[in-house]
Structures are given as structure tokens and as C-alpha cells.
Amino acid sequence: MIEYRNIHKSFDLPVLTGVDMRVESGEMFALFGPSGTGKSVLLKTTIGLTIPDMGDVEVDGTSVFRGGKRALEAVRQKVGYVFQHSALFDSLNVFDNVVMGVPEDELARMPRMETAAKVWEALELVNLEPREILSKIPSELSGGMKKRVGIARAIVGRPEVLLWDEPTTGLDPINTAAVERLIQQLSKQLQVTSLLVTHDVEGGLLICDRVAMLDSGTLRFCGTPDEFRACPDPVVQAFVDRAAAEAALDMVSDVL
């Protein structure tokens, strides 16, 4: 379970102004909102990559900001983070990138063959052919492959929580649908709590148990996908309409 309590964060201007949100264990949760509303900032507070000006985050009862260094390390160990642009290490090949996802102390004890087997399994879980890509460096991979390697790195350490920061950004509709199916499949298969930050509203509504919407630094909506679609709030409705129009435009531009 992830609990955000009264999160405030400013970068010159206020971005988050008192966000309270709770993601239950085992659920798939999507966070929507216009660009610049602080979705990724909120996601990064979960593992202390961004430090809020006020407030705290708890992951399975462990405080991220009040528990000290050891608590933060423990939280990071149980959370897998999929970055928006994959954030693969340029100088390392796919094998070494994915190996980084195995906790350091576990890696030190593990025989080399076992490590290789773990990497192999993680790549297969994200529908990549390990034999073909293990020795490639990130610049030799397509955008969709990079995303999958990033996902493999996040799941290889068997996390209990997966955080997805706009994992379909920059992908064509076919790859977007494939990655969304993968997110759903992995979340169920690995029995993890998933928090998905996305611009793809339709995709998020389709695969998530609950959704929330951030607007102007605060939580505007939190509920089930059906409740979101039926929400009478004009701000939510305007966002849904705009997202649908943008999705249609994207589809047309892809066809053209």
C-alpha cells in the first residue's frame, strides 16, 4: 500500500499543494492530469527521488522521508520504477542494464549463472528474445525495445510495487497497446501494486482498478474508471474530452 499525505512541492512555482492519495495493495491505479500538474513529481516522491517541501509518503507502512536512510533503502528495494524515457545506462549493454535491477547484496551472493537466468527470465517476461539483445547497447535498440528493457530492469529484482512513469510516451499506437497489455499482464503475474502515471486516459481506464486526476496541484478526482467517466465535474469532463480528441488526432496523424 502506498499512502501520500499532504504532499507539497514547489519549483519556483507551486506544483503540488497538499495531495492526499492512497493506493491499496495489489491494485492497479492510474494517475491522470494535464501536463505540468506534478504527476511525475508525485511519483518520484514515492522513492525519495524528489523530496517534498511538506508531507510524507508511506510504502507498506514504512515512511520514506521520516524513517532515515535505511528505511529509504528498504522502500527502494521493494519498488520497481519504470522511467518515462527508459533511462537505460548508455555505456552498459542490455545484460548489464538489467542486472542493475538485482539488489546489490543479493547480486554479491548470487552465482553468475543464477544472475544470468534471472536476467533471461525478466527479458522473456517482457516479450524480448534475450539471445538477440543481451549484448546490445541501448543506442542499438528501438524505442519499444528500450521501454521493455527498462521494464525488465524494474521487475528483475521481484518488486512488490511497480511505478510506471508515462511508459507509453513516444510509442506508436500498436506499441502503446502492447506495452499496456504488458503492464496489465505483469501486474497480475507478479502480484504487485501498480501506480501508473499516463497521458493515455483510455488505456489507463481500460487496465486499472482505480484512477485519480491531478489538477492545479491537488487531487481533483479519485475513484473507479466508471465513476471517472460519469463524473459530473466540468474540469474532469473537459480533460476526458480533450484526451479523447488528442487520441483521435494522434491516430489520424499516424495513419497519414
Partner 1 sequence: MNHQSSGALPPQNAIAQWFAGVGRVTHATLEHAGGLGILFAQIVVATVRLKVSFRSVLNQMYIMGIQSLPIVLVTGSLAGIVTSQQGGYQMTSAVPSYVLGSLVVETIVLEMGPVLTALVLVGRIGARITAELGTMVVSEQIDAFKSLGRDPVAILAAPRVLAGVMVLPLLVGIANLIGIMAGVQAANLTSGLGQESFFFGAQLFWHSFDLGYSATKAIVFGLAIPLISVHMGLKTKGGAEGVGLTTTQAVMFMTLTILILDAMFPPLLLN
- Give the residue from 102, 98, 94 showing the smallest Cα distance to 134: 94
Out of 34, 67, 103, 143, the only residue in the binding site for partner 1 (CB under 8 A) is 103
Out of 104, 113, 234, 255, the only residue in the binding site for partner 1 (CB under 8 A) is 104
> Can residue 49 be called a binding residue for partner 1 (CB under 8 A)?
yes
Q: Which three cell numbers stand for residue 166?
A: 508515462
List the x/- string, 13-42, binding to partner 1 by CB under 8 A.
------------------------------
Out of 16, 28, 59, 88, the only residue in the binding site for partner 1 (CB under 8 A) is 88
H helices of the chain, in order, are 39-45, 68-78, 94-99, 104-109, 112-125, 130-133, 143-155, 173-189, 201-207, 225-229, 234-255
Out of 33, 38, 52, 101, the only residue in the binding site for partner 1 (CB under 8 A) is 101
Cβ-count burial of 147 within 10 angstroms (0-12 exposed, 13-18 middle, 19+ buried)?
Answer: buried
Q: Which is nearer to partner 1, 101 or 144 (CB)?
A: 101
Out of 73, 172, 226, 246, the only residue in the binding site for partner 1 (CB under 8 A) is 73
Out of 29, 32, 81, 95, the only residue in the binding site for partner 1 (CB under 8 A) is 81
Q: Which is nearer to partner 1, 49 or 174 (CB)?
A: 49
Q: Which is nearer to partner 1, 12 or 129 (CB)?
A: 12
Q: Which is nearer to partner 1, 95 or 228 (CB)?
A: 95
Q: Which three cell numbers stand for residue 173?
A: 499506437
Cβ-count burial of 120 within 10 angstroms (0-12 exposed, 13-18 middle, 19+ buried)?
Answer: middle
Footprint of partner 1 on 121-180 (CB under 8 A): 153, 157
Q: State how far the alpha carbon of 244 is from the alpha carbons of 183, 199, 208, 248, in Å.
A: 21, 11, 17, 6
Q: Which is nearer to partner 1, 79 or 207 (CB)?
A: 79
Out of 12, 70, 90, 113, the only residue in the binding site for partner 1 (CB under 8 A) is 90
Out of 17, 77, 185, 218, the only residue in the binding site for partner 1 (CB under 8 A) is 77
Going across the sheet that includes 79-82, the strands are 79-82, 161-165, 193-197, 28-32, 210-215, 218-223
Q: Which residues contact 232 (CB under 8 A, 6 or more apart)?
A: none
DSSP 200-251: -HHHHHHH-SEEEEEETTEEEEEE-HHHHHT---HHHHHHHHHHHHHHHHHH
> Can residue 235 be called a binding residue for partner 1 (CB under 8 A)?
no
Footprint of partner 1 on 193-232 (CB under 8 A): none
Q: Which is nearer to partner 1, 66 or 85 (CB)?
A: 85
Residues near partner 1, by CB under 8 A: 44, 47-49, 73, 76-77, 79, 81, 83-85, 87-90, 100-101, 103-104, 153, 157
